[in-house]
Amino acid sequence: MQTILNKYQLQITIERLACQVIENYVDLSSVVLIGLQPRGIFLADKIFEQLKKIKPGVQFQYGKLDITFYRDDIRKELHEPNQTEIPFSLEDKIVILIDDVLFTGRTIRAALDAILSYGRPKKVELCVLINRRYSRQLPIQPDYCGKSIDSIISQKVKVEWDKEEVNLY
Amino acid sequence: MQLSTKHLLGIKDLQLRDIELILSTATQFKEVLQRPIKKVPSLRDTTIVNLFYENSTRTRISFELAEKRLSADTLNFSASGSSVSKGETLLDTVNNILSMKVDMVVMRHSATGAPHFLAKHIPVAIVNAGDGINEHPTQALLDAFSIKEKLGKLEGKKIVLIGDIMHSRVALSNIYLLKKAGAEVMVAGPPTLIPKYISQAFHVRVEYNLRKALEWCDVANVLRIQLERQNQVLFSSLREYSLAYGVNKKLLDSLNKEIVILHPGPINRGVEINSDVADSNQSIILQQVENGVAVRMAVLYLLSNKQSFT
């Protein structure tokens, strides 16, 4: 096992990601955070908390998205869906998809399909904590990235929120 | 994550964890039905035939909508207007349709056991949308979903089924499901419409007095008199039935609690249920219909995995 981000680095990275997400946008009322189920929501929660600290007056819209019904491996294995909560339209909004680890890119491809059910966003950007470089199976890259790492397919990246560290197994 | 059965022929064959899986998946599909675009691509490689040998409004439309929301291709077959009138057998009809590469069959038939018969002869997954006086599994599932939505859980809740228990497939499926889920079940109605040994067979309470039944229960599922399935006179008149067993607002208001009212539809207003009850806010009849689409989406989604690219 190898620790990619320790407790201190994890905290600093989350703070940096939150700052990066908002530095490009003047009108924050049209920025929407969408955390991907099942594991991206923990990172999205932390980024949402951080944004509330940096910009206390702003009402950020925050939703959770489950992509089980949009997966492309449905004939290999059926997954149990988690909750989707997007109680607002995404029409003309800037959507920031948030997930913990970007690996093959298939989850994000499914997420792009899923969010089209909520309207036509103005722009979609991707924010991930860990980018597993050179492991992509689709042409998808992050806009905001905590850390890029090299890994082989048999390895697993685990974001362990209880221990507050990110480890490579 | 999958169901323990290849088909959905009845609640009798389902385990409790299958039921829980269907209901939790249905919760997610209900969210899909609130979106601006109410479609998911999950079943876009699937063609489903709705084989209805009996009349239906709710069930057929509900299944068709569920299939379309899952992006499946749907075929609707109703016996009237087909070659069934020329004498074509059930098996021939189905095999002909399957030759056109149909992946799943949703079937309603007046003969008890028709889907079970079919399941032995054809390779695709079958969903029973009602067979004779046997079972109507998706109705029981959506009833359970609706009760859970309103009351939080099924375990320990007291549910009475009122009406033509003997000929009701909704009743039997509900009895199986509610017993498996740990609810307490009572059947109520005129003695001629309740099977003689039902309490021994299914461990349900039997009550011939409507007031006592309503005083006992948390939920009342009111069933329609299945006139089309009775071939003998089992009560003196519809009016007399409604006087003794019709659920009306005055009766409900006189109880010391607010019970939840369900009805599978179609309603015979003024017979088994009055308009002032059916349209009241104690009734969740329209929520049942809404939930029916989500529950059927869950069933079709969970059964679809049985075909793979072999």
Q: Provide, as residue numbers in chain A, all residues whose Cβ is less than 8 Å from the Cβ of B31.
A: 83-85
How far apart are the C-alpha atoms of B245 and A164, rounded to whole Å?
A: 63
Half-sphere exposure of B110 (CA within 13 A, CB side): 10
Average pLDDT value over all residues in chain A: 93
Q: Provide, as residue numbers in chain B, all residues whose Cβ is less than 8 Å from the Cβ of A119.
A: 36
Lookup: tokens for A7: 């407790």
Identity of the residue in A76, A80, A117 whose CB atom sits nearest the CB atom of B35: A117
pLDDT tens-place string over residues A113-126: 999 889 999 999 99
Cβ pair B21:A69 closer than 8 A: no
Lookup: tokens for A156: 């697993």
Res B114 pLDDT > 50 = yes
User: Residues of A at the B interface (Cβ-Cβ below 8 Å)?
Assistant: 66, 68-70, 74-86, 89, 113, 116-119
How is residue B197 annotated by DSSP?
Answer: T
Q: What is the ipTM of this complex?
A: 0.85
Res B308 pLDDT > 70 = no
Provide mean pLDDT across the span B183-197.
95
Q: In what order do the strands lie in the sheet with A144-150?
A: A61-65, A31-36, A94-102, A123-133, A144-150
Cβ pair B308:A75 closer than 8 A: yes
Give the number of domains in chain A: 1
Contact A56, B283 (CB under 8 A): no
Complete domains list, chain B, with CATH: 11-135+290-306 (3.40.50.1370), 137-288 (3.40.50.1370)
DSSP-derived secondary structure for B232-256: S--SS-HHHHHHHH-B-HHHHHTSS
Q: Report the pLDDT value the prediction gives residue B231, as an integer from 0 to 100.
A: 64
pLDDT tens-place string over residues B118-160: 999 888 999 999 999 999 999 999 999 999 999 999 999 999 9
Lookup: tokens for B306: 């049985």
Question: Taking the C-alpha atoms of B108, B111, B117 and B122 in order, what is their torsion angle to the nearest 10 degrees?
Answer: -30
Between residues B213 and B232, the one the model is more confident about: B213
Provide mean pLDDT across the span A51-58.
89
pLDDT tens-place string over residues B86-108: 788 888 888 887 787 889 999 99
Question: What is the domain extent for residue A29?
Answer: 2-168
Provide φ and ψ at B175, rounded to 5°: -60, -50
Q: Report the pLDDT value the prediction gives residue B236, as an integer from 0 to 100.
A: 80
pLDDT tens-place string over residues B216-266: 999 999 998 866 666 677 778 888 888 999 999 999 999 989 999 999 988
User: Global pTM?
Assistant: 0.91
How far apart are the C-alpha atoms of A127 and A20, rounded to whole Å?
A: 10
CATH number at residue A160: 3.40.50.2020
How far apart are the C-alpha atoms of B181 and B193, rounded to whole Å?
A: 25
Contact B158, B147 (CB under 8 A): no
Cβ pair A81:B28 closer than 8 A: yes
User: Residues of B at the A interface (Cβ-Cβ below 8 Å)?
Assistant: 1-2, 21, 24-25, 27-28, 31-32, 35-42, 45, 301-302, 304-305, 307-309
Q: In what order do the strands lie in the sheet with B205-207?
A: B205-207, B184-188, B158-162, B219-222, B260-262
Cβ pair B28:A84 closer than 8 A: yes
